[in-house]
């Protein structure tokens, strides 16, 4: 074969490769478009910002634990978060965080008795009332838990991981509380 024939065959292979890639790209685009149509057809929407039936909320106790502080920070730009007993008009809703506990339980040990796995829990008990004391939501317990392995040779890293897991659980609990507050449709 001559050099020109070899070059021509290489060019044909290249063209075939480019055509194949374009075909895959078109198929991928069609799949994404079909998925988009299916999701919008079933009513799927991204979770947006919650709408609340009230514009003022008081969170007790003051200052409270880490979940109460995170909740105040999260609600701060959407609602007027009041401190109970301030001279402002009373809040429409009072969120009482009755207890907030962190637990660390050993769930796994090695044959030599060294801890290998912990379970972390954050437990929050709360209720929601009107400013006049009428209960909107009775006592609610929200619990989050995470398992994590422990290695004594990486104690500092595991300590940082533990703090990160607690923070993640707090944020999950705050989001659950926000969804429950958004479910309140009417305040009487």
> Which of 28, 46, 64 is the C-terminal boundary of a domain?
46
Q: How many residues does the chain have?
A: 188
Q: Is residue 187 part of a domain?
A: no
CB 177 within 8 A of CB 71: yes
- 64 and 8 fall within a common domain: no
Residue range of the domain that includes 24: 1-46
Quick check: pTM over 0.75? no
What is the C-alpha R_g of the chain? Answer: 28
- 154 and 129 fall within a common domain: yes
Q: Is residue 188 part of a domain?
A: no
- 158 and 85 fall within a common domain: yes
Output the domain CATH number for residue 177. Answer: 3.30.160.150
| Mean pLDDT, rounded, of the chain | 84
pLDDT, one tens digit per residue, over 157-181 is 889 999 999 999 999 999 999 999 9
Cα angle for residues 81, 62, 142 (degrees, 5° grid):
80
pLDDT, one tens digit per residue, over 64-83 is 889 988 998 888 766 777 76
- 94 and 148 fall within a common domain: yes
The pLDDT assigned to 72 comes to 86
Report the domain count for the chain: 2
Q: Is residue 51 part of a domain?
A: no
Q: Is residue 107 part of a domain?
A: yes
pLDDT, one tens digit per residue, over 4-61 is 777 777 777 877 877 887 887 888 878 888 777 777 766 666 666 778 888 888 888 8
| Residue 87 reports pLDDT greater than 70 | no
The pLDDT assigned to 80 comes to 72
């Amino acid at each position: 074969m001559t050099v020109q024939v070899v070059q021509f065959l290489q060019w044909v292979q290249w063209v075939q490769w480019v055509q194949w890639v374009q075909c895959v790209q078109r198929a991928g685009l069609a799949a994404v478009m079909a998925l988009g149509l299916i999701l919008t057809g079933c009513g799927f929407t991204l979770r947006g910002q919650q709408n609340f039936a009230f514009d003022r909320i008081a969170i007790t106790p003051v200052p409270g634990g880490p979940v109460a502080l995170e909740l105040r920070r999260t609600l701060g730009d959407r609602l007027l978060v009041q401190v109970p007993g301030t001279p402002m008009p009373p809040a429409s809703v009072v969120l009482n965080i009755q207890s907030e506990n962190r637990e660390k339980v050993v769930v796994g040990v090695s044959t030599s008795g060294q801890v290998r796995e912990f379970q972390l829990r954050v437990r929050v008990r709360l209720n929601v009332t009107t400013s006049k004391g009428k209960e909107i939501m009775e006592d609610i317990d929200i619990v989050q838990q995470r398992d994590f392995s422990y290695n004594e040779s990486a104690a500092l890293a595991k300590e940082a991981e533990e703090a990160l897991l607690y923070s993640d659980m707090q944020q999950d609990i705050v989001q659950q509380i926000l969804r429950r507050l958004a479910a309140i449709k009417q305040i009487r």
